[in-house]
Amino acid sequence: MTSEFDLIARYFKRPAANAVLGVGDDAALLAATPGTELVVSTDMLVAGRHFLAEADPYHLGHKVLAVNLSDLAAMGAVPRWATLSLALPEVDEAWLAAFSRGFFELAGRFGVSLVGGDTTRGPLNLCVTVLGEAPAGRALRRSGARPGDGVWVSGDLGGAALAVCHLNGELVLDAADAEHCQIRLHRPEPRVVLGDMLCCVAHAAIDISDGLLADLGHVLAASDVGAELEFDRLPAHPALAPKRADPLVRRCLLAGGDDYELCFTAPPEREQAILTVAETAGVTVTRIGRITDQAGLRLLDGTGRDMDIRERGFDHFA
């Protein structure tokens, strides 16, 4: 009789092209590239907390890896390996097949090998650890921002939060906008190539998982600096753009989580280098403000006046 572990192995045991030894022994063996530092990050998604238990397993397989790849991108690292730990309430073959398809499609795009993990019976819980490499001494840290740096973001902001508002009934989007925003929420695109290329250009970076103000706030605190942002420069998701003065839309833009764009700082003389890197990576980037030596975060309107900042990022323990 096939055990549940055999079933799980069927969906997750794949040849690990870039490992000395992948799944199947007591541990994996990985050979790091000389001259690099290993960059390691773990993120856990819990049913009922981060997603609904009935969520599409194909999207979940993508998202649980994407949020981890996003953290490596924010360090300027190239992802290489991952481990996956699953607590499953039951062994559901259709669920496992769809989940593993979503996971391996994204892993394959970035050459990430699954080299280990664990499974147990329990409330649905998904945990991925990713390992990547950055040139020794060059990984992007939150503490690297300097006064005078430009503050930049990739892509656009607020789409994932807008999808949540739509699903909660706080507003109604037309069908096309609703679909676009739900793709942002369920299938975030980690900025892997951009992060890798920013490694030698930017001073500091973070990925936007909890909202622009909250995540940029972490950079400011770690770097002991402040920032001025120009509200009119913030790149809004197209579904938000026409109504950016609406308080709900403003909240999505400034405090919406789950966008997984990169926020980074770089000295003004590297502006052209950043634009070139972004074009090569196929991602838009926008300079939204600058780092100051005065502590705190100021948000300026189109006339240069301070705007009230009451939005806060989503706090998982709130």
Residues that bind Mg ion (CB under 5 A): 71, 207
Count of residues for the chain? 318
Residue with tokens 């950055």: 134
Closest approach of Mg ion to the CB of residue 106, in Å:
17
Closest approach of Mg ion to the CB of residue 67, in Å:
8
Q: Residue 281 — φ and ψ, nearest 5°?
A: -80, -10
Return the ∠ at Cα 247 (arms to 245 and 253), rounded to 5°. 80
Q: Which is nearer to Mg ion, 49 or 305 (CB)?
A: 49
State how far the Cα of 1 lies from the Cα of 11, in Å rounded to an integer: 17
Measure Cα distances from 43 to 46, 53, 148, 163, 238 in Å: 10, 18, 33, 22, 29
Q: Which is nearer to Mg ion, 71 or 228 (CB)?
A: 71
Q: Which is nearer to Mg ion, 207 or 228 (CB)?
A: 207
- Which H or E element spans position 276? helix 271-281
Q: Which is nearer to Mg ion, 91 or 222 (CB)?
A: 222
Closest approach of Mg ion to the CB of residue 169, in Å:
29
Q: Which is nearer to Mg ion, 158 or 313 (CB)?
A: 313
State how far the Cα of 298 lies from the Cα of 177, in Å rounded to an integer: 30
Closest approach of Mg ion to the CB of residue 21, in Å:
30
Closest approach of Mg ion to the CB of residue 209, in Å:
5
Closest approach of Mg ion to the CB of residue 161, in Å:
16
CA torsion, ordered 68, 73, 77, 78, to nearest 10 deg: 80
State how far the Cα of 277 lies from the Cα of 120, in Å rounded to an integer: 43
Q: Which is nearer to Mg ion, 160 or 173 (CB)?
A: 160
